[in-house]
Amino acid sequence: FRMRTIIVACSLFVFLFLARESGADVTRQNTVPATDTEASGVSTASWSHTVNAGSDLYLVVGVSTDINTATYPTGVTYNSVAMTNIANQAPNTWGSTSVWGKTNPSTGANTVQVTFAANQTFASNSISFAGVNQSTPTANVGQGSIGSFVETNRALNITTVSGDYAFALLSMDNNQASFLGVTTGSQEWESDAFGGGSQLTTSAASSAASSTTTTIAWDWT
């Protein structure tokens, strides 16, 4: 029996399972919201994230840009240690999204840094978990995109087992935060309309799993 946590990123979305070690369920620790980590016209952004003491720790960083080309971070570090790129969602006309992870991150308050090859407008976020399998933390990865701007919702139905943890990151190259709501799951962060002409909106949600299917969903007008 393997515990897994799920991560998603959407207009472009990516989800992945974080497999648990035997014993306790995967649990969520701390989150640094996107409003604290917005960046415009720069190539790097950094912030402090506190990983609490615990067993089988794992750190996830999500990055959303308003660029309509394949523009992703060249690197993400935590406490000056490189994180692993989990998935990059191929962009459509609505922006791009990237997710990074780190097993056994240093406990306490340490610096997360996101680096691009050139100046960008982007929002980054971090969230830490405990109880994650350290040898195979990501058991599965999925991703997709909103097919049309006329859509008004996005629901992600993810196969899980009791004790899994689902996390999803939604990114849109449009100012939708005032109309955007997490309808299934608990919101972790949201950011929108920063960087002058930028219309990037990014929103993340999570949910502890209790059945074979865990849903994370958003609605917007």
Write out the chain's pLDDT in tens, 221 residues: 334 444 444 445 555 555 556 667 888 898 888 788 888 889 999 999 999 999 999 999 989 887 666 688 999 999 999 999 988 876 666 667 888 999 999 999 999 999 999 998 888 999 999 988 888 787 666 666 665 555 667 777 777 777 778 888 887 776 666 667 788 888 888 887 666 666 777 888 888 877 788 888 888 76
Would you state the structure tokens that stand for residue 205, as one six-digit string? 């949600």
Distance CA 127, CA 196 (A): 27
Distance CA 212, CA 89 (A): 25
Gyration radius of the chain over CA positions? 16
Would you state the structure tokens that stand for residue 91, as one six-digit string? 């962009």
Distance CA 34, CA 127 (A): 11
CB 18 within 8 A of CB 165: yes
pLDDT of residue 197: 61
